[in-house]
Structure 1
Amino acid sequence: MSNNRRPAYLPIAIIAVVIIAVAAAVIMWFKPDSSRIMPAQPVSNTLASEANSSQSTGLGDGQLVQTTVSQNQSPFVTGLERLPRSLKGTQIDGEIIIDENKQLLVTEGLRRLFDYFLSALGEENEAVIVARVESYIRHHTPEPAASQAVAIFNQYVAYLKALPEIEKRYGNLQLQATKSGELDLNAVTQQKRDVANLRQQYFDKPTITAFFGAGDDYDDYSIEMVRINQNTQMSDVQKQAARQDYVSRLPDSTTKTNIMQQANLGELMARTEQMKARGATPEALYNMRRELVGAPAAERLAQVDREDANFEQRFSQYETQKQRLLSQSADQAQAKIQINQLEQQLFDDTERKRLEGYAALQQQK
């Protein structure tokens, strides 16, 4: 079975997770008409951050890389020959989309395609990967879109080489701020400006939006959440209202939808814990969940509750009988055999693996 290879997405400014848990959302995209796509195998698309790319690829400092290679000089034809071990058995992550005039349409998926191949640097040297990417593009894409994609790849590699210098300038400031317990939002904001200025040196505005727009939206959201959280002049109620107001003013987009789902999930967890502590009925929990996440999800959560309650009941029975066996048996070896038999009687294989951790959790409570 094949696996998708996806570079991890770590937004430039998102060290905000030190203070607020911001779940990474998956940005859904739809496959365009196959007559306009080259290649026709787009796959799911966790965004790869430029920061992670610059570190994982190990690209050295330098000017714009000239990757144009004559087809008869290149060691590749399709770009997929002799793939490195980390890419073998994976689907290509990304897309090349062209219009009816065979002009390139720059998308976030094009950047994913670049990151897919660049993630293998270390197994392959830079020159090999550069040749591989250009061969792949030219084999799967007509002109002039092919040359346009190759040119953007050149710019992207050069950008990745320049990016670590900005990271070095701000790394210590961020570390100090984190150790002090609060994020230095001024430093984070300035870093974002420097990164934005760097992008303008290598890309036009449409490419910047396509490659980095979604990540920037999440950065801005996370920074604002931290800004609200660090505001000592606001009460918890005021902070919650400010968070909701910020999200409500976001333009309609997939990013906003994911952020709202994330916010609903946080509220769902908090309200579930509060209601269970007050002894809420299953019906009350279901109604609250249905309001926040819809009926199907509410039903699934109710089923999880039933399964957890059943496990807890069996665990309580197990602990009672286990303690009785240990206290009453003179032969501890025999007692352990009986306890093992009890475990097999009350729990399946998966549940037995949870017993030790669940017991430790119960002791903490």
Structure 2
Amino acid sequence: MPRLLIVTLALLAAGGTLLLNWPSPAAVVSPPVAQARPVVQSAPAVVPGAAPHVVAPSSAAAALAPLVGTEVDGRLSTNAAGNLLVDLGVRDYFDYFLSAVDQAGLDASLGALLADVRGRLAEPARSQLVDLLGDYLEYKRASLALMQQPLAPSQQQPQGQLAALQDAFERLAQLRRSHFSAAAVEGLFGAEEAYARYTLETLGLNARTDLSEADKALALAQAREQLPAALQASELRQQQALVQQAEQARLWREGADEQQVRAFLALTYDPPTVERLLAEQRRERLWQQRYSAYREALAEQRSAGLSALDQQREQVRLRQRLFAAEDYHRVETYDAIASHLQQPNP
């Protein structure tokens, strides 16, 4: 039953809607280690205690037929230094435009989103949001693939349903951390994950046979009391991740070698985590180098006077030569973003 995992993930996510009116922590976007993406970010400055600036609305969404007559969902905010604050409002903003993909297509939906961003954000927040958009699109594709995976036979039995929920949550949490920085995960998903953990703890307590009803009620009350603390902990982890991310970016920027970065990461993480992070960064730098070479080759083709059809064929050949098949979606996403960013402002 390939869609059973969808049900388990939906059960975990359902509680997250209760958090929409809660003040969610916001992450200030920091530049990635590799800077070869279509848009280069400027380094942010975190201003503790500064009130976020909420950006005025734009009307570019009216260009998409499925969104005509609707108001743009979500909220884009910046700090005093003009850097994007990443919170649930950014996620809602992305999802609002992406909800039109089925009817209007990805290219048109991205075009409307980017046109709207031009009317809302100045640099460096604009480039930071575009960079985050690329990661978010890849995450959405990967999460849909995850939700289509079938459950194991043991998880389809009543006694295995809680284990299925726990496994689904852990796999989704791991997927998020493979696509976003720690700070972005906390900003976009921190409150939802805190509530999901509470939900799983509640289900686990209700399933226990070694507790009396009074003990269960007491444990459930204690779990509920921890929800605000969990959100506070999420904000603290976010700030710690921002500091760690900024220092790590500084090391790479100033020419530190991998051993120096390893020593810095070892101050925060255990050895297996350090090696995993270094391996991920190594792969990302290599991918960004390939994408940069790919974009340069495309620019050379355009200047060579090839016809549009020949350019398209050469572009396909370049993708096949430089990237693995599993990277094609990411390349197409970056290409679509780069194409719209190259268009002149209206």
> TM (normalized to structure 1)?
0.49
Shift of 1:190: 2.8
- Name 2:193's counterpart in structure 1: 216
As a proportion of its length, which structure holds more helix? 2
CA contact (8 A) 1:177 1:184 kept: yes
Report SS of the residue matched to 2:123.
coil
- Are 2:213 and 1:236 equivalent residues in the alignment? yes
- Name 1:15's counterpart in structure 2: 11
User: What letter corresponds to residue 21 of structure 2 in structure 1?
Assistant: M
CA contact (8 A) 1:218 1:255 kept: no
Structure 1 residues 218 and 167, CA, compared in 2 at 3 Å: closer, same or farther?
same
- Structure 2 residue runs of 5 or longer lacking an equivalent are 1-5, 27-49, 234-346
Structure 1 residues 194 and 126, CA, compared in 2 at 3 Å: closer, same or farther?
same
Distance 2:209 2:89 in 1: 41
Report SS of the residue matched to 2:122.
coil
Report SS of the residue matched to 2:148.
helix
- Name 1:101's counterpart in structure 2: 81
- Name 1:160's counterpart in structure 2: 140
Distance 1:139 1:201 in 2: 31
Distance 2:51 2:57 in 1: 6
- Name 1:39's counterpart in structure 2: 56
Q: What is the CA deviation profile of residues 244-279 of structure 1, one whole-angstrom value per residue up to 9, with x for unaligned ones? A: 1222234447799xxxxxxxxxxxxxxxxxxxxxxx
User: What letter corresponds to residue 215 of structure 2 in structure 1?
Assistant: Q
Structure 1 residues 203 and 227, CA, compared in 2 at 3 Å: closer, same or farther?
same
- Are 2:87 and 1:91 equivalent residues in the alignment? no
- Name 1:172's counterpart in structure 2: 151
Report SS of the residue matched to 2:171.
helix
Shift of 1:231: 0.9
- Aligned residues: CA RMSD: 3.4
Q: Which protein has the larger Cα radius of gyration, Structure 1 or Structure 2?
A: 1
Alignment equivalent of 2:92, drawn from 79, 87, 112: 112
Shift of 1:40: 4.8
Which structure carries more relative contact order (alpha carbon 8 Å, separation 6+)?
2
CA contact (8 A) 1:102 1:144 kept: yes
- Structure 1 residue runs of 5 or longer lacking an equivalent are 1-9, 42-77, 257-365
Distance 2:195 2:215 in 1: 22
Report SS of the residue matched to 1:195.
helix
Distance 2:137 2:122 in 1: 22
Q: What is the CA deviation profile of residues 140-187 of structure 1, one whole-angstrom value per residue up to 9, with x for unaligned ones? A: 110111011011011100111111232233x434x9746x43453333
Distance 1:23 1:142 in 2: 31
- Are 2:36 and 1:25 equivalent residues in the alignment? no
> TM (normalized to structure 2)?
0.51
Distance 1:99 1:23 in 2: 26
Distance 1:22 1:148 in 2: 29
Alignment equivalent of 1:207, drawn from 184, 188, 213: 184
Report SS of the residue matched to 2:103.
coil
- Name 1:124's counterpart in structure 2: 104
Q: After superposition, where does 1:178-193 map in structure 2 within 5 Å?
A: 180-182=157-159, 184-193=161-170
- Name 2:175's counterpart in structure 1: 198
CA contact (8 A) 1:16 1:222 kept: yes
User: What letter corresponds to residue 15 of structure 1 in structure 2?
Assistant: L
Counting matched residue pairs gives 204
Q: What is the CA deviation profile of residues 174-213 of structure 1, one whole-angstrom value per residue up to 9, with x for unaligned ones? A: x9746x4345333332332222222222211111111111
Q: What is the CA deviation profile of residues 83-113 of structure 1, one whole-angstrom value per residue up to 9, with x for unaligned ones? A: 323x222211111111222211112101100
Task: Give aligned-pair identity as a percent.
Answer: 24
CA contact (8 A) 1:118 1:129 kept: yes
Shift of 1:214: 1.4
